[in-house]
Amino acid sequence: MAKIEPRSGRYRVSWRLCDKTGRIIRDENGKPSYQSTTWSTEKLAKRAQDIAEGHRHSWTARQVEDEILGPTDGDSTPETPTLAEWFEEWLGAITRVTPGTRATYQQQFRDHISSTLGAMPLGQITALDVGKWVNRRKTEGAKNTTITRDFSLLQQCLDGAVRARHVDRNPCKDTDFVRNQIADDDTGEDEVGAFAHDEFELLRKRFDKKWHPLLNFLAYTGARWSEATAVAVEHIVAPSAKSPQPKVRIYRAWKRSGVGAERYLGTTKGRRRRELTIFMELYEELRPLLHGKKKGELVFCGDEGQMIDYSNFYHRVWRPAMVEAQRCSSHPPGMRGERIPGLKGRCRDHGGTNDQGKPCGAWLSPGWSRCVNHIGPDPDAVSDCDCPGVLRLEVPDGGPHRLRHSCATWMFARGVPPLVVSRRLGHATLAVTSEIYGHLMPESDEAAAAALSALRSKPADEEEVVDEEDLGEEE
């Protein structure tokens, strides 16, 4: 609550600044942000206290003073809501977001933006304030992709403030911050990781055969996990006389209505509905999964027709297969623990830790310096040899999403035009595709240079002759 303290015949009112939800706003050092104002009489101080508490301590000292005394004479800065107040109003008014995205925006603002900029009136936020906030996020160890997402949210919010005429210009646009477009794709990786085709074949052998259709679908369509596992029977289009090539319709994806909420079927990312041509071998592999299923049932599902949970698949299926593919039978990874006859004590006494990384309190296995659960290689340990038939990853495992990157890589390697790749992947713009996979297009640039060179060196008598009558025609 706001406190009143007598100070040499005057009265000081102080309170901890909060956002509209009642959460304390903290400064860059993590300490509560305090507001205070001083009055000549106890009556005015009591009124200031009532105003601060009436607004649940979300008003700044300047706002409380203006409420009692009116705006300061000569003040050219118009009264504007704080960023936190405007964010709540703006978020409640935007329409083209799902409930899950709305909840993500709220958490994003609360965790990454509000503590630094939330209490500032919109009219007082400058490009310097935004730049300092970006640099603070960097010193906190935030990834470039995370900072980009935060910056994008702040910029959208302030764009709304400009349209609502709270401010004349968005301060984000006056910074030198360059957006990292990779954050626009559904991956948090700093570097694109992809399998060569022979590496994918090697990895696939490590999976139970029941998973092969799903793995092939992800790798040869480039669909996101949330899209692939949402494909229904009617989305697989059989070949016909009119359309001899089979197709798959990527029309929907699994979504969340909020953090930790149940999943539901909604639109694809960016609402990019697309119909992809697939080759006949993949279609024939999918056909058995359609047998006996009705319209609306999932093609890829659990034993009882339920959605395949990503987390369970990653930890119980994907990760074990990935580790196995990186282990060599001739050069297995090192063992944890060693044989020491007569040794007594607990596993933690010799460096043993549990799954949470905390010291393991289990008793040692007889004759070993580890407990029975911690003898042998670490579950994620891989071999470091160069033997053939052993998978090697230059970029850390990105989960099944790596198959999406692999699909894009293979298409570029075969000369598929970037616009076609972008549309098959369902990217919002070609610029997104270029930012993520631009390093895979040097051959296309070389081909363009060769084509222009050939045009330049073409003999004059071989150049196309244009009929004068055609010069006046519209193109």
Fold of 83-179: DNA polymerase; domain 1 (1.10.150)
Structure tokens that stand for 5 in this block: 């303290």
197-323 to CATH, choices 3.40.50, 1.10.3470, 1.10.287, 3.90.15? 3.90.15
Report whether pLDDT(166) > 80: yes
* pLDDT computed for residue 472 by the predictor: 43
Highest mean pLDDT among 62-71, 252-261, 274-283, 450-459: 274-283
* pLDDT computed for residue 446 by the predictor: 67
pLDDT range class, residue 65, cuts 50, 70, 90: confident
The mean predicted confidence, pLDDT, of the chain is 84
* pLDDT computed for residue 186 by the predictor: 44
> 354 phi and psi, to 5 degrees?
-90, -170
What DSSP designation does 355 have? T
Structure tokens that stand for 211 in this block: 């998973």
Q: Please say whether the beta carbons of 237 and 246 come within 8 A.
A: yes
Q: Please say whether the beta carbons of 417 and 367 come within 8 A.
A: no
Give the tens place of pLDDT for each residue, 298-344: 999 998 999 999 999 999 999 999 999 999 988 888 878 888 888 88
Report whether pLDDT(422) > 80: yes
What share of the chain has pLDDT > 70, as a percent? 88
* pLDDT computed for residue 470 by the predictor: 45
Kindly state the helix (H) or strand (E) to which residue 249 belongs, with its residue range.
strand 247-250
Q: Region 394-404: what's the mean pLDDT?
A: 86
Report whether pLDDT(142) > 70: yes
* pLDDT computed for residue 185 by the predictor: 45
pLDDT range class, residue 475, cuts 50, 70, 90: very low
**Quick one: how many helices (H) and strands (E) in the chain?**
16, 8
* pLDDT computed for residue 437 by the predictor: 80
Report whether pLDDT(177) > 70: yes
* pLDDT computed for residue 468 by the predictor: 45
Q: Which of these, 413, 425, 58, 435, lies nearest to 272 by C-alpha position?
A: 425
Q: Please say whether the beta carbons of 251 and 273 come within 8 A.
A: yes
Give the tens place of pLDDT for each residue, 291-303: 999 999 999 999 8
pLDDT range class, residue 192, cuts 50, 70, 90: low
Report whether pLDDT(149) > 80: yes
Locate CATH 1.10.150.130 in the chain: 83-179
Q: Region 123-149: what's the mean pLDDT?
A: 90
Give the tens place of pLDDT for each residue, 9-39: 788 899 888 887 778 887 666 788 888 888 8
CA distance 297 to 59: 53
Report whether pLDDT(52) > 50: yes
Locate CATH 3.90.15 in the chain: 197-323
Q: Calculate the alpha carbon distances from 393 to 384, 390, 398, 413, 441 in Å.
A: 11, 10, 10, 19, 22
Report whether pLDDT(58) > 60: yes
Q: Region 404-423: what's the mean pLDDT?
A: 90
Highest mean pLDDT among 123-132, 170-179, 215-224, 375-384: 215-224
